[in-house]
Structures are given as structure tokens and as C-alpha cells.
């Protein structure tokens, strides 16, 4: 029997928890998930679990492993020439594109609906910015 998301391709451009956790669940359900990481990797890779109150110094960041299971990762520097263009090409070739970028960064990198080739209001594209989607706080960094 096929998994519910067999044949679905997902592109993730995010770090920390919300989007990676959502795409990990999609991978669990059979989706092919491609995670884009910056050079040096997702900042969450380097989180020391001791900072969460654990007394034992784990050699593996199990929190990162849990939220990133079942994915393939690719390193793309969207700040470099050609980096954002590569992300746009990848986004145009998947079924679902999830990101946590704030609106001003989506515009900066050309990852909006007209430039990305994906309707940002459709169920196939989603944002989880950690801040307000509209209004004066829409471009504020999450805290």
C-alpha cells in the first residue's frame, strides 16, 4: 500500500523547528523532502542540548535529527550570485515549497509568486515566519 504522500516532492528553505518539523512529518508520510541549508549547515545542527536543561552532554543533537529525519539536504548560498536562482528553479519543480523567510527576504531573493513560479496563496506554498505575516512586524526577525 502506498504512503499518503508518495510521489509528492517538497522543498524546504528553513531552519530551527516549525517548518523542519512539518516537512519531517511529510517525509514520514512518503514525501520526498529536499532541505536547503546554508554553507555551514542549519544553525539548529549546532545547538547544544545542554542549553535545554539536559545534564548529559549528548554527542548527537537528537532534536535536530528528529526534525530532519527522512530528508535529503543540499547546500545553497542564496546570498551568492546564482544561489537564489537555483532555489527558484528547484521550487518550480516541486509540489510543495515551505519556507520561513520574512516577506522582505522573499522579495530580495526573488522567491515570491511571480518570480518563483508558484502561487504563494495556494496550498502548495506555505510560510512559517515566526512573526506576523502582515503589518508593521512582518519583516521583524523572530525572537
DSSP characters over 76-134 = --TTSTTHHHHHHHHHTTSSEEEE---HHHHHHTT-SHHHHTS-TTSTTEEE--SS-SS
Span 94-115, pLDDT tens digits: 988 998 888 888 889 988 766 6
pLDDT score for 80: 94
Say if residue 79's pLDDT is above 50. Answer: yes
**Average pLDDT for 42-71:** 79
The pLDDT-based confidence of 34 (bands split at 50, 70, 90) is very high
Whether 90 has a pLDDT exceeding 60, the answer reads yes
Flag whether pLDDT at 130 surpasses 70: no
Phi, psi at 91, each rounded to 5°: -65, -35
Q: Is the pLDDT of residue 68 over 50?
A: yes
Q: What is the DSSP letter of 141?
A: P
Amino acid at each position: 500500500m502506498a504512503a499518503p504522500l508518495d510521489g509528492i516532492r517538497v522543498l524546504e528553505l528553513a531552519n530551527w523547528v516549525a517548518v523542519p518539523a512539518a516537512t519531517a512529518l511529510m517525509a514520514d508520510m512518503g514525501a520526498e523532502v529536499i532541505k536547503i541549508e546554508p554553507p555551514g549547515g542549519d544553525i539548529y545542527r549546532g545547538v547544544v542540548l545542554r542549553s535545554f536543561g539536559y545534564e548529559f552532554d549528548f554527542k548527537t543533537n537528537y532534536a535536530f535529527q528528529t526534525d530532519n529525519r527522512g530528508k535529503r539536504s543540499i547546500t545553497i548560498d542564496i546570498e551568492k550570485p546564482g544561489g537564489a536562482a537555483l532555489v527558484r528553479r528547484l521550487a518550480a519543480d516541486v509540489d510543495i515549497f515551505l519556507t520561513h523567510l520574512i516577506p522582505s527576504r522573499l522579495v530580495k531573493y526573488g522567491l515570491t509568486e511571480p518570480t518563483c513560479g508558484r502561487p504563494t496563496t495556494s496550498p502548495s506554498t506555505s510560510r512559517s515566519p515566526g512573526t506576523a505575516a502582515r503589518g508593521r512586524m512582518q519583516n521583524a526577525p523572530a525572537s
